[in-house]
Amino acid sequence: MQQMRARRRPLPRRRRGRKAAFASRRTTALAQPCRRAHSAGMKRPPSWGVVATVKAPARDILNFAAHHLDLGAHRVHVYLDEDNPVARAALGAHPQCRVTVTDEAYWRRRKGRPERHQPRQSANATRCYRRDPQVDWLAHVDVDEFLWPGAPLADQLAALPEATRSARVRPIEALGPDPDDPPPEGTLWCKGHARHHGPRRAQTIAIYPTYGEHLNGGFLSHVAGKVFVRTGIEKTSLRIHNAFFGRVQDPAPARLDDTMLVHLHGHSWDHWLELYRFRMARGSYRDSLRAAPMPDGVALNMNQLFSMLEAEGGEAALAAFYREVCTATPELRARLQDHGQLFAVSLDLDASRRRHFPDADAALPDRKQSPPPAPRRAQ
C-alpha cells in the first residue's frame, strides 16, 4: 500500500523580486491508506464515513464514492435525490456503500418531501446518523466535495479528545484551468482563504482587486466547511455545515487542520455557467443569503453582484468575473501564493472509480478527458 505524501501546508509564498516557483503539492491515489499497527488489546482506530444527498450524473456520483473509499471510508452513504439506475446498481453492489432512492414513497413515510434541496439534505443526513451509520464518525458532504487529508483520517480522529462531538474541515475551492497557461498534467489549482475575518477581508481585496469587496475570502460558495460528527449521541441532527445536539448547535467544533475539503464548485467555465441559473434561484447564490462581512456594511451578496454584472454586460461580464476570480491565471496564482492561499491538488477520480466500480464504465456516457477551458483573455 502506498503512503500518503500530501503535506498540509499551502505552496510556499513567493519571494518578491524573484520569479515564482509553483511546486505542486499532491496526494497519491490510494487503494486503502496504511494504518499504524495495533497490537492485541490496543484500541482500534475509529472508523469513519460520509453521507451525501445527490442529484448528479452517475460518473460524478461514483467518483465521489470511490475517492472516499480510497481514503479509507468504512461506509459511503448515498441518498439519490433522483433515481440514477447506473449509480444505484454500482453502489448497491459495493460492500462498503449504502444507497437509498428518495422517491415519492420514501418521502411519504416522512411527512412529505421538502421543496428546497437543503432541508432534504439535512433530513437524509440526520436519518442516516440516527439509523446506525456503522461508523464512529460521520461527515455530511456534497457530491462535488472531496476530503483531502495529509494523514490518515482515522489517526486524526483518534487524536481528538474523547469529549469532542464534532470536528470541522475547512474548504479550498477549485480554480478553472487557464487555457493560455494550463496546469501541469494531473494538477488542479485551488484557492484558500484566511481563517479569521479581519485578515480575510484584507487578503480578499488584495487578491481580487475588482470584485474583492463583495466576496468572502474570494469564494463563490461556502467558507464554513463541513463537519465530522461522532456517532451514537442521542438527539443529534446534521445540517449542511454544522451539527446540532438537542437542538443546540455545537458552538466550538474541533479543527481537523490536517485535512481540507476540495470543493469543485466552479472548476470549469462551462460547468459553472451550466449551474448558474439554478444557483441564482435556489442554490448558493440565492438572494436570501447574506453578503460578505464588511465594516461599512455596503457589500453586495452574490445574487445582487451577479444580477448587476448581467444587467450591465450580459454573459461577457460574467466571463470577465470568472476569469479574474475563478481562473488559475499566472496573475491570480501569484497573488494567492503571496498570501499563502494557493494549493495544488491531484485527484485521479477516473482511476479511483475504475478501481472500485470496474463494471460501471461500460454504462457511463463518453466524456472529454479534460474540463472545458475558462474564458480567454480579452484581446
Give pLDDT tens digits for 32-66.
233 333 333 447 899 999 999 999 999 999 999 99
276-327 pLDDT tens trace: 888 898 888 888 877 776 666 667 888 999 999 999 999 999 999 999 999 9
> Is residue 81 situated within a structural domain?
yes
The pTM (predicted TM-score) of the whole model is: 0.84
Query: What percentage of the chain carries pLDDT values higher than 70?
Result: 84
**Among the ranges given (13-22, 91-100, 255-264, 331-340), the one the predictor scored with the smallest mean pLDDT:** 13-22
> Is residue 33 situated within a structural domain?
no
Retrieve residue 139's grid coordinates.
461527515
Tally of domains within the chain: 1
For residue 245, give its domain range: 48-358
Retrieve residue 210's grid coordinates.
475588482
**Residue 28 pLDDT level (bands cut at 50, 70, 90):** very low
Q: Per-residue pLDDT averaged across 109-116, rounded?
A: 93
d(CA 261, CA 146): 6
Q: Are 261 and 169 in contact (CB under 8 A)?
A: yes
> Is residue 23 situated within a structural domain?
no
> Is residue 22 situated within a structural domain?
no
> Is residue 376 situated within a structural domain?
no
d(CA 20, CA 336): 11
Give the pLDDT score at 296: 61
> Is residue 170 situated within a structural domain?
yes
Is the pLDDT at 97 greater than 90, yes or no?
Answer: yes
**Across the chain, where does the E strand assignment appear?**
48-54, 75-80, 97-101, 137-140, 145-149, 166-174, 188-191, 226-230, 236-238, 243-245, 248-249, 254-263, 342-345
Give the CA angle between residues 131, 258, 290 to the nearest 5°: 70
d(CA 214, CA 177): 23
Give the CA angle between residues 171, 174, 176 to the nearest 5°: 165
> Is residue 6 situated within a structural domain?
no
Give the pLDDT score at 284: 82
> Is residue 9 situated within a structural domain?
no
Mean pLDDT of the chain: 86
Give the pLDDT score at 23: 30
190-218 pLDDT tens trace: 999 999 888 999 999 999 999 998 899 99
